[in-house]
A and B are shown apart, each in its own frame.
Chain A
Amino acid sequence: GAGVSQTPSNKVTEKGKYVELRCDPISGHTALYWYRQSLGQGPEFLIYFQGTGAADDSGLPNDRFFAVRPEGSVSTLKIQRTERGDSAVYLCASSSQGGVGELFFGEGSRLTVL
């Protein structure tokens, strides 16, 4: 596809369950970012990949959150033992260089933890 694709668009789960959110970046983009956006707030940085490696994971809130990008393209954000406070929209973005420049965002995955 032409843009950043995120699946699922909506996910409802129960407290304590495990969740995976997928991001398919723009083809050829080496940099990939995950953000979390709560209602009425700006996006908060979670993690940044350059290629296959996590270059900056300083935004991950705790060890229940983990992300991978094994082949340097698709990325999966994994949340273990979900809590109600994890409810938010999870946004993925990619860029061609990972340096100065614009980020291209997907539509997001809305996670609701009951």
Chain B
Amino acid sequence: SQQGEEDPQALSIQEGENATMNCSYKTSINNLQWYRQNSGRGLVHLILIRSNEREKHSGRLRVTLDTSKKSSSLLITASRAADTASYFCATDGSSNTGKLIFGQGTTLQVKP
């Protein structure tokens, strides 16, 4: 079963614009992670935010977490054509096994 829902399902923007993707989840968590997947490839970890953190930055990525609303957002600033991919949020459901439950993903297209 899927833990989270992501919004929007698809997003198309021009190079240089910012892209914002949202994720909602259902259970309590220890941490939330974002992954990226290029078409036909495996997933690549982008960023992890712990349940006691509200915001985290990594390069052009900014992630926020609101545990009271059970939601997170991923912002990609100054997008590039190479950012075209699917983006997934994943939560651990408070488990200590490292097992992650993924959302449905947002497909981002960045037009040059």
Q: Interface size bucket, B side?
A: 20 to 34
Answer yes or no: B112 CB below 8 A from chain A CBs.
no
Most interface-central of A33, A43, A45 (chain B CB within 10 A): A43
**Interface positions of B from 1 to 55, Cβ below 8 Å from A:** 1-2, 30-31, 33, 35, 41-45, 48, 50
Chain A contacts for B90, CB-based, 8 A: 42
Question: In the docked arrangement, what's the CA distance between A15 and B92, Å?
Answer: 34
Minimum CB–CB distance from A87 to chain B (whole Å) comes to 15
Number of interface residues of A (CB under 8 A): 29
Contact A45 B99 (CB under 8 A): yes
Chain A contacts for B96, CB-based, 8 A: 99-100
Contacts A43-B43, A91-B42, A91-B43 given; does A103 touch B98 at CB 8 Å: yes
B residues contacting A by CB (< 8 A) are 1-2, 30-31, 33, 35, 41-45, 48, 50, 88, 90, 92, 96-105
- With A106-B42, A108-B42 known, 12 other A-B pairs at CB within 8 A are A31-B97, A42-B2, A43-B88, A45-B101, A48-B99, A99-B98, A101-B48, A101-B98, A102-B45, A103-B100, A105-B43, A108-B41
Contacts A43-B88, A44-B102 given; does A103 touch B45 at CB 8 Å: yes
Answer yes or no: A83 CB below 8 A from chain B CBs.
no
Answer yes or no: A98 CB below 8 A from chain B CBs.
yes
Contact A56 B97 (CB under 8 A): yes
Contact B42 A41 (CB under 8 A): no
Minimum CB–CB distance from A109 to chain B (whole Å) comes to 11
Chain A contacts for B104, CB-based, 8 A: 40-42
Choose among B31, B97, B103, B105 the residue that contacts A98 (Cβ–Cβ < 8 A). B97
Contact A100 B102 (CB under 8 A): no
Contact B100 A45 (CB under 8 A): yes
With CB as the reference atom, state the residue of chain A lying closest to B50: A100
